[in-house]
Amino acid sequence: MDFVEKLEKIKDKFERINQQLSDPTFMDDRSRVVSLSKERSELTPIIEAYNQYAALIKNIEGNKELIESETDKELAQLAQFELKDLEADKEKMEEEIKFLMLPKDPNDNKDIIMEIRAGTGGEEAALFAGDLFRMYTRYAEVKGWKIELIDISDTGLGGIKEAVFSISGKDIYGQFKFESGVHRVQRVPSTEGSGRVHTSAASVAVLPEAEDVQVDVSPNDIRIDIFRSGGAGGQNVNKVETAVRLTHIPTGLVVTCQDERSQLKNRQKAMKVLRARLYDMKLKEYNAGISAQRKDMVKSGDRSDKIRTYNFPQNRVTDHRIGLTLYNLSNIIEGDLDELIEQLKVADRAEKLQSSDDLL
């Protein structure tokens, strides 16, 4: 099936959905209406692009006819110049449509649980983990997304051993999914008197939030421990047992939450993280099964991969997966991530288009 034939089939499907949605007999089946409406919404961008593409093809054919039949050489020459631009637009539109036709990552529209942990480098690694935490939360704040702290363990010197938090909004996982991995920093620590550049690291894990139907967690598989919160937190700390630790016995996963003063809220947050981690394990098993068939240019985010280096002396950020270097670290570390994230999306898109020839 060629490109245009597949587009025609998608258009036919779109029209059938419209007919069904306008049929009064379907209105009583709410789940069916919701399903069809969602499918229609997903197909709409393809149909809109196809309509533009069809108009473009019509203009190209019109210019060709004009060139062949026009006796006025000047007018024919103008039509020829315009034809070159139209042909270029046609190629660009075909690439855009091919990308729209690619299967969507079903997790892209999910909210996320993000986990940041200090790695090698002692206190400097903890300070860098704190920088990453502020970088991501500032970026989310500017975008108007909701941030909810689940658990944080600080060093008392401004650094962070570990931070776990959720971000909610539109297409959140699609924005952050390429951030998983080991982030490396190169800079002169404030405690370094000789001015020598140190290298340390922190790991970032981005987990799509799991729905109840996606991860089946039996209460019998969970051990719940209640204890007193530790660290800064006011009069409630160390007096009332509100902190919660969940242990998933089959996998050994452990989740702790002590951010809230309510034991119930801490348990709910911890359960959300546990579900996300179990879902992430399922995704990794699935990706491992298909990795031999297609190796992604922008990796799925195995946290063992060193994905990015932040070089403070040179104000430089390098993403090693796509060979991208930007000299605006001072802005990026303050949460200006748009260019970096967009370049990762573009690289992922190019790789997927290159791999889609057999499918389209």
What are the pLDDT digits (tens) for 58-81? 999 988 888 887 677 788 888 888
Task: Please work out, in degrees rounded to the nearest 5, the angle formed at the alpha carbon of residue 38 by the alpha carbons of 37 and 44.
Answer: 85
Residue 289 pLDDT > 60: no
Q: Average pLDDT over the chain, rounded to whole?
A: 84
Listed in sequence order, the residues at least 6 apart from 189 whose beta carbon sits closer than 8 Å to its beta carbon are: 123, 124, 127, 198
Tell me if 226 is assigned to some domain: yes
Which of these, 184, 113, 189, lies nearest to 146 by C-alpha position? 113
Same domain (yes/no): 201, 274: yes
User: Which residue range is the domain that position 29 belongs to?
Assistant: 3-101
**Of the listed ranges 5-14, 96-105, 107-116, 179-188, the one predicted with least confidence:** 96-105
Instruction: Provide the domain count of the chain.
Output: 2
pTM for the model? 0.68
Higher per-residue confidence, 233 vs 351 = 351
pLDDT reported for residue 201:
95
Tell me if 359 is assigned to some domain: no
Residue 352 pLDDT > 50: yes
Same domain (yes/no): 79, 225: no
pLDDT reported for residue 239:
57
pLDDT > 90: what percent of the chain?
40
Listed in sequence order, the residues at least 6 apart from 263 whose beta carbon sits closer than 8 Å to its beta carbon are: 226, 241, 242, 244
Cα torsion for 219, 225, 228, 230, to the nearest 10°? -90
Same domain (yes/no): 91, 116: no
pLDDT band at 339; cut points 50, 70, 90: very high
Listed in sequence order, the residues at least 6 apart from 31 whose beta carbon sits closer than 8 Å to its beta carbon are: none
Same domain (yes/no): 175, 232: yes
Same domain (yes/no): 258, 177: yes
Tell me if 225 is assigned to some domain: yes
Residue at which a domain ends, from 79, 101, 123: 101
Same domain (yes/no): 49, 94: yes
Q: In the beta sheet, which residues pair with residue 187?
A: 198
